[in-house]
Amino acid sequence: MKTGRLLTGTQRNWPTELWESPLSLPTYRRAFFLLIMLGLGGLASVWFIGEISDRINPLYDFAKTYLEGLGIPLFLIQLAWTIIKAGILLMVPVVNAICVVWWERKISAHMQSRLGPMYVGGWHGWLQTIADSIKLLLKEDITPNLADKKIHLLATAVALAPAIAAFAPVSFGKELVYADIDIGILYVFAVSGISVFGIIMAGWASANKYSMLGGLRAAAQMVSYEIPRTFSVVPVIMLCGTLNIAAIAEAQSGYLFGFLPRWFIFYPVVGQIAFIVFLIASVAETNRVPFDIPEAESELVAGFSTEYSGIKFSMFFLAEYSYVLISALLISAFFLGGGSPLLPSLSFIPSWAWFIGKALFIIFCFLWFRWTFPRFRVDRLMDFNWKFLFPLTLINILLAGIWSAEIKHMVK
């Protein structure tokens, strides 16, 4: 029989063996390679920062002596240095968002047997996010007629500014830290808590019911998940005796019995509970699936950002991804030993590479959750927080007390 112009059986090949292999099931075979690629790409990009941080102090000293020789007062030089550091700090969220969004699209695509961006910029669509951001910059900026125009504008700033400011006590290398303050943990939690106001303002000012529901949900969710998130760090603080992020990371260096790193996640029971609660609460704080109810696409259209277009919308985007990075860096510092290597024999890899590498792995976990889980319902979300996570953290603090009073000196 003639098949005419119709498709014949041999024209379409189904790679069923590939789809059936257990490695391509939810463990996502190709995503694993992407993880490696992500790690390598991330390391290459932070190499630059590491190099700067190694050379930055001699550079500063040299510049200082030179400029002092010219007769410029010291406070002006220090001011200029602060401004330069602030500039570098400002670049962090932008560069981070550009990279992470591209990774997210690539990783999610490979999890779903797709390819993701392929053409923009040539190699695997690596310029995709830059094209997106230029386009968003040039889009018309709409403020709805009924909106509260001042608050509508202010909300973006209130959401983004704390996200940038929260990076201040986070050290990106040995010397490249904007403000090395002793109460770093408190500062990060306090500042990042401000962002929720931006979201509530955005929800209210948009004069859109979906936005308002999104804002209300965000308020309820972020305020309540702040509590287990903070409480889950209390054991870390108790065991390390400091609030300085860098000091906490340093306190975890060394090895138990010569092979087990002294990372906090390896402390029996206390460490694991604290880590899991902090991870869950961090995902909730960053409004990502399965906790993305404030912007739940299928329910509230786009939640609080429904009425935001162009550059204002990208501000919220930037803030979200900044918090993802901050959470990853904090998890890396609190629970994964900061810059300490996994095995003593791996110590030839510089410490900043370990630090950023661990953070990148946590970012990958965030993306992985996002593309695997369905979304919680809003009341279940609250139940989960108040009836499960919150009591768990209190118990964990008790356990940490017992640990630090009774067991800590025995292990030493």
Task: Tell me the residue type at 360.
Answer: L
Nearer of residues 123 and 348 to another protein, judged by Cβ? 123
Angle of CA points 161, 305, 281, to nearest 5°: 65
Taking the complex as a whole, the smallest distance from the CB of residue 147 to another protein amounts, in Å, to 11
Nearer of residues 98 and 185 to another protein, judged by Cβ? 98
- b/e code 263-287 from CB counts within 10 Å (16+ = b): bbbbbeebbebbbbbbbbbbbbbbb
Angle of CA points 326, 35, 367, to nearest 5°: 50
Nearer of residues 55 and 135 to another protein, judged by Cβ? 135
Task: Tell me the residue type at 62.
Answer: F
Report the C-alpha gap between 313 and 295 in whole angstroms.
12
Q: Which of 101, 108, 92 is nearest to 128 (CA)?
A: 101
Tokens of 337: 């030993």
Taking the complex as a whole, the smallest distance from the CB of residue 410 to another protein amounts, in Å, to 38
Nearer of residues 242 and 309 to another protein, judged by Cβ? 309
Nearer of residues 29 and 375 to another protein, judged by Cβ? 375
Q: Which of 78, 54, 58 is nearest to 68 (CA)?
A: 78
Taking the complex as a whole, the smallest distance from the CB of residue 50 to another protein amounts, in Å, to 31
Report the C-alpha gap between 147 and 308 in whole angstroms.
11
Angle of CA points 132, 216, 388, to nearest 5°: 100
Nearer of residues 81 and 126 to another protein, judged by Cβ? 126
Taking the complex as a whole, the smallest distance from the CB of residue 51 to another protein amounts, in Å, to 30
Q: In angstroms, what CA-CA distances link 375 with 88, 226, 371, 380?
A: 36, 19, 10, 10
260 pairs with which residues across the strands?
Answer: 256
Angle of CA points 20, 22, 27, to nearest 5°: 120
Q: Which of 296, 290, 288, 280 is nearest to 373 (CA)?
A: 290
Taking the complex as a whole, the smallest distance from the CB of residue 189 to another protein amounts, in Å, to 27
Taking the complex as a whole, the smallest distance from the CB of residue 118 to another protein amounts, in Å, to 4
Report the C-alpha gap between 145 and 161 in whole angstroms.
26
Taking the complex as a whole, the smallest distance from the CB of residue 334 to another protein amounts, in Å, to 26
Nearer of residues 131 and 398 to another protein, judged by Cβ? 131
Taking the complex as a whole, the smallest distance from the CB of residue 353 to another protein amounts, in Å, to 31
Q: Which residue has the tokens 């992407």?
A: 34
Taking the complex as a whole, the smallest distance from the CB of residue 48 to another protein amounts, in Å, to 25
Nearer of residues 100 and 289 to another protein, judged by Cβ? 289
Nearer of residues 78 and 113 to another protein, judged by Cβ? 113
